[in-house]
Amino acid sequence: MAKINSKGEWENRNGKPIDPKLIPIQYKRRDKTVEDIFEMVFGLSGKLGTTKSNIIKRIHKYLEYQAKRNKVEPKDISGNIQLSNYNNTMQVNLSRNDTISFDENLNLAKALIDKCLKKWSKSARSELRSIITDAFNIDRKGRVNIYSILKLKQIQSRDKDWKAAMDLINKAQNIVGSKQYLQFRMRNDVKEEWQSLSLNFSSIRPL
């Protein structure tokens, strides 16, 4: 229902109180239609959130069972999970996407990396310089390229300053958020292509 003050006036989109007698009937019908729809949407969203939570719990319960059978600590199981039914016609995937930020240790790492570049000025390849420059480029929101920063750790060097810089990058990493994604695929026969079931769980938080 529209926001109504103590005088029974309806608040419009500009926050101005309007006498309901002055509001055309089609606007009132539209208001009720939209709010009825959202009531259904909120109910469905709640059910999806509960369902997502229950699915994730079922997956973790199975993983705990497997961990116990194989004498492994459940907390040591990491990475994306893919489960299939016996005849491989149904498949559920649970993946996790962490949001990473870096603290002041990244600035210290950058100083050491710059030191390395100066030492390697004659031998450093242009591709290496490009990778490092891209990694520390700041976007419009003042953020570094996380993927490029992590990619630096793939570069192998015996230089003690480079190794110290990579250690600082490891220390600088902080997981500030995490999302879990569910994907469902099915097929009638193993010879057929997988078909995705679209439920868009990704934007829904488990309850």
Using alpha carbons, select from 65, 69, 97, 71 the residue that is nearest to residue 83. Answer: 65
Q: Which of 61, 77, 93 is the last residue of a domain?
A: 77
Using alpha carbons, select from 60, 106, 96 the residue that is nearest to residue 177. Answer: 96
Q: Which of 77, 96, 115 is the last residue of a domain?
A: 77
| Contact yes or no for 81/94 (Cβ under 8 A) | yes
Q: Which domain holds residue 24?
A: 1-77
Using alpha carbons, select from 40, 35, 25, 44 the residue that is nearest to residue 2. Answer: 35
Number of domains forming the structure of the chain: 2
My answer on whether 41 and 88 are in the same domain is no
Q: Return per-residue pLDDT of the chain as tens, 207 residues.
A: 678 888 989 998 888 999 999 999 999 999 999 999 999 988 988 888 899 899 999 999 999 998 888 888 877 677 789 999 999 999 999 988 878 888 899 989 989 988 888 888 766 667 677 777 778 877 666 677 888 888 888 888 888 999 999 999 999 988 888 788 898 999 998 889 999 887 765 566 666
My answer on whether 106 and 24 are in the same domain is no
Against a cut of 0.85, is the pTM above it? no
My answer on whether 110 and 131 are in the same domain is yes
